[in-house]
Structures are given as C-alpha cells and as structure tokens.
Amino acid sequence: MKKVAGLILAAGTSTRMGRPKQLLPLKGLSILDLLLDEVLRSELDLVLVVLGYQAQEIRESLRTDLNHPKLQTIENKNYRDGISSSIIAGLSEVEGRYDHVMIILADIPRITSNLINHLLHRYLSSPLPLGAITIKNRRAHPVIFGRRLYHELHQLQGDRGARDLFLKYPDQVCLVEPEEDYDDMDIDTPEDYLEFKKSLL
C-alpha cells in the first residue's frame, strides 16, 4: 500500500500580518490548531508540521496533542530562504518511508479532511505523479507529489514553492475539483483575517 505524508508548511515570518498568523484565534483555537484537527482526521498516514519562525512559541501555544501518533513537528532552520526550504526540510524527513507527499499551507483555513481525502483518492487512482485541487480552471491547494519527483523538489529555491513543476509537466497532473464549495483564500494580512472572521458569522 502506498503511504502518503502530509507536510504542513508553517515556518513563515508572517511579515504582512505583523504577528505569527499560525496562532491567530478562530473559534477559540488557533488557525493552525483548527487545520491540524482537520488534517489529522484525514486518511494521510503522517502529518508533519514544518515550523521555523518563532517555532518554540508556536509549538508551546498549540492546543493540539503533539504526541498524537500520526503527528510530527520539525524545525526548518533555513526558513528565511523561502517556502522551498520548508518543502525540502519536510521531504528530507519523510522521503525514505513515504511514497507521496501532500503539501498543505498553514494559512489556508478552509482545508478540510474531506477535501484532503477526495484529492488523495482521485490522485492515487491515477497513474500521474502530480495532483492538485482545481477551482474554476485554476490550480489551488493542496497539492501532491509522487516519489519520482522527489529529486526535483530537492532542487527548489527561494519562495516559489513547487509551481514550476506543474508548468514543466502539464500533462502529468491529476486535477481534482472539490466535491463541496471550497475557497482557498489564504490569510496574509490583518484585512484577510478580518474578512475571514466575517465569513464565519
């Protein structure tokens, strides 16, 4: 059985927010706690949280049980080198044991376990090495990669993430439409945060 690890990228400096957005409160919990609750209920075999900026503060502030058997956290010391460094740090931790990695951004709060499972099933039933949620013909997150692309993920640089691989291999992508309404809005600024909180009312 092919094993899949989820990499939650939560290492960024939250420059535009002015404080760690991973810890912004929502429904009595932090954004990262709410995301972890969903991701841990999914069918992913492992959930690896990649921390960086203020890693210790974030770890100590989480209400999630960090001893959950499916959960692991690591610290990316090179987080200032951009999102690629967090992908590489997470991949280096899991690549020997897991055949696929799903990349989940910590600042997209509407990701659910159902969405993750839907992408997972559709992607694993295809022979393709790349997968992504798509919204109105636009590629969105989460995204997933098979082992044959691990070496190329290791070559990533800067703050561009893995989007170049989707451009390089457009015919190798399993694009999956959500089964339910899904907004992949990310929370980058105080205005984004206020807008998201209003949407919950």
pLDDT tens digits for 116-156?
Answer: 999 999 999 999 999 999 998 899 999 999 999 999 999 99
Q: Which of 24-28, 154-158, 171-175 has the highest mean pLDDT?
A: 171-175
User: Which CATH number goes with the domain that contains 163?
Assistant: 3.90.550.10
Expressed as residue numbers, the domain containing 185 is 4-200
Mean pLDDT, range 80-85, rounded to an integer: 94
Local structure of 29: helix, strand or coil: strand
Task: Provide Rg for the chain, Cα atoms.
Answer: 16
Local structure of 54: helix, strand or coil: strand
Q: Count CB-CB contacts under 10 A for residue 113.
A: 15
DSSP state of 41: T
Q: How many domains does the chain have?
A: 1
Question: pLDDT tens, 43-81?
Answer: 999 999 999 999 999 999 999 999 999 999 999 999 999
Start-end of H helices in 46-154: 55-61, 83-94, 113-124, 150-153
Sequence-distant (≥ 6) Cβ neighbours of residue 74 within 8 angstroms: 48, 49, 50, 51, 89, 90, 93
Question: pLDDT tens, 11-24?
Answer: 988 888 878 888 88
The phi, psi pair for 24, rounded to 5°, reads -60, 135
Local structure of 34: helix, strand or coil: helix
